[in-house]
Structure 1
Amino acid sequence: MYGVVLAAGQGTRMQPLTDRRPKPLLPAAGRPLLEHVFDACVDVVDEFVVVVGYRGEDVIERLGESYRDTPISYVEQRDPAGTAHAIEQARPVVDERFVVLNGDVLVDPDLPAALAAAEGHAIATTPVSDPRSYGVASVGDDGSLEAIVEKPSDPPTNLANVGCYAFDPEVFEYIDDTERSERGEYEITDTLELLLSDGRDVSVVEYDGRWLDVGRPWELLRANELLLADVERDVRGTVAEGARLEGAVVVEDGATVRDGVHIEGPVVVKAGAEVGPNAYVRGATTLGPDARVGHGVEVKNSILFAEATVPHLSYVGDSVLGRDVNLGAGTKVANLRHDDASVRMTVKGERVDTGRRKLGVVLGDAVKTGINVSLNAGVKVASGAGIEPGEVVLRDVEGE
């Protein structure tokens, strides 16, 4: 069985984190989202087929020719035009039944295993409390799909489409007949309707495990939290006698934890990273390769990409810092509104309620701040931007 993984999109809702990398390579718990997707289905597939597009060469360079001894083929989606169009790109490679997963959606291994075990075409669904924001599946008495209704005001069931499928190769013939939707895309749900109208059975696999579509910056933090909940203590790097490590803390080979450091897991310190002296790191935090957290710094529930640096006397909470970020001494991040309402963030020009009571900042690659900068909750700073010493940043900062 093939595992077709869709990884072609740029992920504009994730900007500025995707300015210089494709969304499936964003790190959570120290590894790209795409690798976590591979982990979920590697036991049921014989070959991966990865559909690449935006910065596809970065994906190929990261993954290479195989993953955990399972070979990888790559196909390119040059002009993204919907999920059905993305799946169609795998046609030259795929000649037997295959499962389809998105390269930025976290699921448990039970899901691809259940799809693989189903017969013929299959769709995964999961029960949700309010189905009105999803594609909703109607299921017949025999457990097969009857219809999918997109974002219905009166949902026929509480079963939301997870966006994971299994198909026989004949699906490509039906993709050929799929017309563009009102959004101008070739939708795989329209292809499913064609299968049903032609009398083909589509099994419904009901799933109630982990399901997180990592589409916006705060959802990357949520992915990090979920994945770090499963880590176990593993200390292989250099840890000073005066350091204190509590709980599920991972310190990789080549990482250094200096005197006076206090780390409360779950925390992952990647190879080459340095912590301290006299730093406090806590709460679902990942410090990327060669990251630096220095004297008098507190980092809480955050992700620091590779080579991000918070050298001294700063606070970073519930935040994502891109590659090669450098915070000047005394830079402080606010992660809580005074009115106790959930933090809002601008996504593609619209203010969005994140649903998070605590959320700090999202800094693109190579952002630099001067000393004594204050960054307000929910602020995004574009890649390459610089902030002058002493500034109080209350609105998003554009750059490049």
Structure 2
Amino acid sequence: MKGVILAAGRGERLRPLTDDRPKVVLKVANRPVVEYVLENLDPFVDEFVMVVRYEKEKLVETLGDEFNGKPITYVEQLPGNGTAKAIESAEGHVGDENFIVVNGDIYFEIEAIKELISVFRRENADVALVLKHFDDLSHFGEVNVEGDLVKGVKEKPGKVPGYANLGIYAFRPAVFEFIKRTGLSERGEYEITDTLNLMIGAGRKVVHALYGGYWNDIGRPWDLLGLNEYLLKNKLEHRVMGTVEEGVTIVPPVEIGEGTVVRSGAYIVGPVKIGRNSKIGPNCFIRPYTSIGDNCHVGNAVEVKNSIIMDGSNAPHLNYVGDSIVGENTNLGAGTITANLRHDRGNIRVEVKGRLEDSGRHKLGAIIGHGVKVGINVTIYPGRKIGSGSFIGPGVIVDENVPSGTLVVVKQEKILRGMKG
């Protein structure tokens, strides 16, 4: 059986973190999101088929041509958007075998795949999909069921309880016949849910497996923080492979990678994960649910809490990084502070694709892209985004989003904004 992973999307809602890479390669707990998908599929498949499009070279570079000794085949998505078109792209690579399809930008536990395959085989079904019950279906299509059978999939019904489709499927090859008959949806995409409705209408057997475990649809920046917290809380093992100087306090569980040096006075309260060849301290405070990548520097008088700092980034002097995401190869100047709490303690709202969305979090700091340079004594308001490749000059108060590649400086008490170069 082959495992098909849908990884062609850009991830617009995750910008600026996806400015130059597909969302499935973003690291959470120091591993690309797509690796968690591959890991859970691995026991059930003999080959992976990766459907790609946007910045596909970054994904190939990240994964290579195999995972745990099983080959990965990369397939360009056919023209057109939507999950049905993405699945159709894999037709020539799955042949006449049954196959599994998983969205590449979700997190789930292995039990979801076990239940999926069990019901698919037991019911001798044409399709099986994994469902989860939610109290609020505002962000999900509703799946109507009768026993093990799926009777139909509807658009988002609003704030009502019900079963939602998690983006995990088992198919017989007959699905391709129905995908080719699937028309464009109202939002201009070829949706696999429309294909399922066609199959149900034609009398094909579509069944479901119920899943009660943790699941995360990584669609917005704060979803990365939620997944990071879950992984560190539930999966982290205490392992110290780097060098820890005398005078360091470590409260387990903390993972410290090879080549990393933790200098005297550092105080680390787990769960915390630190990658390889990083420099930590002296005299810093790293609080729970923090991931720090490879080749990073967290230095003197720096406090980091519930945050993701990606590879090659630095918070070297007098910084506070709280409930924030810092992309790769970004540097925070001395005195840079990320504010993470509104004065009224209300939920932080974040601009996503031109409109403000409630993050559901009353603590959320900055979302900083890749290759950003931040000057000294910069203050960043809660929920603000700084685009990749930007330069923030000394003393700036970042009270609105900064587009990618922007220069922001203070001159004669005025903030000047312009494109770099």
Matched, 1:207 2:211: yes
Whole-angstrom CA distance in 1 between matches of 2:404 and 2:164: 38
The residue aligned with 1:358 is 363
Secondary structure at the aligned position of 1:131 is classed as coil
Give every structure 1 segment of 4 or more consecutive aligned residues whose post-TM-superposition deviation is greater than 6 Å. none
Q: CA deviation at 1:177?
A: 0.7
The residue aligned with 1:128 is 134
Which 5+ residue runs of structure 1 have no aligned equivalent? Answer: none
Q: CA deviation at 1:163?
A: 1.7
Q: Quick one: structure 1 residues 257 and 113, their matched pair in 2 at CA, closer, same or farther if it must change by over 3 Å?
A: same
* Length-normalised TM-score, structure 1: 0.97
Whole-angstrom CA distance in 1 between matches of 2:251 and 2:78: 48
Letter of the 2:403 counterpart? E
The residue aligned with 2:145 is 139
User: How many pairs are equivalent?
Assistant: 398
Q: Quick one: structure 1 residues 204 and 338, their matched pair in 2 at CA, closer, same or farther if it must change by over 3 Å?
A: same
The residue aligned with 2:183 is 179
Whole-angstrom CA distance in 1 between matches of 2:129 and 2:82: 17
Given that residues 9 and 80 in structure 1 are in contact (C-alpha distance below 8 angstroms), is that contact kept between their aligned partners in structure 2?
Answer: no
Given that residues 239 and 256 in structure 2 are in contact (C-alpha distance below 8 angstroms), is that contact kept between their aligned partners in structure 1?
Answer: yes
Whole-angstrom CA distance in 1 between matches of 2:159 and 2:361: 28
Q: CA deviation at 1:231?
A: 0.5
Whole-angstrom CA distance in 2 between matches of 1:4 and 1:62: 17
Whole-angstrom CA distance in 1 between matches of 2:324 and 2:144: 40
The residue aligned with 1:45 is 45
Q: CA deviation at 1:399?
A: 3.0
> What is the RMSD of the two structures over their aligned residues, measured on CA atoms?
1.3
The residue aligned with 1:34 is 34
Alignment of 1:155-194 (within 5 A): 158-194=162-198
Q: Quick one: structure 1 residues 78 and 327, their matched pair in 2 at CA, closer, same or farther if it must change by over 3 Å?
A: farther
Whole-angstrom CA distance in 2 between matches of 1:213 and 1:280: 31
Secondary structure at the aligned position of 1:204 is classed as strand
Secondary structure at the aligned position of 1:245 is classed as strand
Given that residues 350 and 358 in structure 2 are in contact (C-alpha distance below 8 angstroms), is that contact kept between their aligned partners in structure 1?
Answer: yes
Alignment of 1:76-115 (within 5 A): 76-77=76-77, 79-95=79-95, 96-115=97-116
Which 5+ residue runs of structure 2 have no aligned equivalent? Answer: 406-421
| CA distances 1:306-327 after superposition (whole Å, capped 9, x unpaired) | 1111111111100001111111
The residue aligned with 2:307 is 302
Q: CA deviation at 1:305?
A: 0.9
Given that residues 8 and 80 in structure 1 are in contact (C-alpha distance below 8 angstroms), is that contact kept between their aligned partners in structure 2?
Answer: no
Given that residues 372 and 390 in structure 2 are in contact (C-alpha distance below 8 angstroms), is that contact kept between their aligned partners in structure 1?
Answer: yes
Secondary structure at the aligned position of 2:331 is classed as coil
Given that residues 136 and 159 in structure 2 are in contact (C-alpha distance below 8 angstroms), is that contact kept between their aligned partners in structure 1?
Answer: no
Secondary structure at the aligned position of 2:91 is classed as coil
Matched, 1:374 2:379: yes
Secondary structure at the aligned position of 2:92 is classed as coil
Q: CA deviation at 1:2?
A: 1.1
| CA distances 1:316-368 after superposition (whole Å, capped 9, x unpaired) | 10000111111111111100000010111111111111010110001111111
* Length-normalised TM-score, structure 2: 0.92
Given that residues 78 and 89 in structure 2 are in contact (C-alpha distance below 8 angstroms), is that contact kept between their aligned partners in structure 1?
Answer: no
Alignment of 1:303-318 (within 5 A): 303-318=308-323
Secondary structure at the aligned position of 1:165 is classed as strand
Given that residues 349 and 358 in structure 2 are in contact (C-alpha distance below 8 angstroms), is that contact kept between their aligned partners in structure 1?
Answer: yes
Q: Quick one: structure 1 residues 172 and 270, their matched pair in 2 at CA, closer, same or farther if it must change by over 3 Å?
A: same
The residue aligned with 1:253 is 258
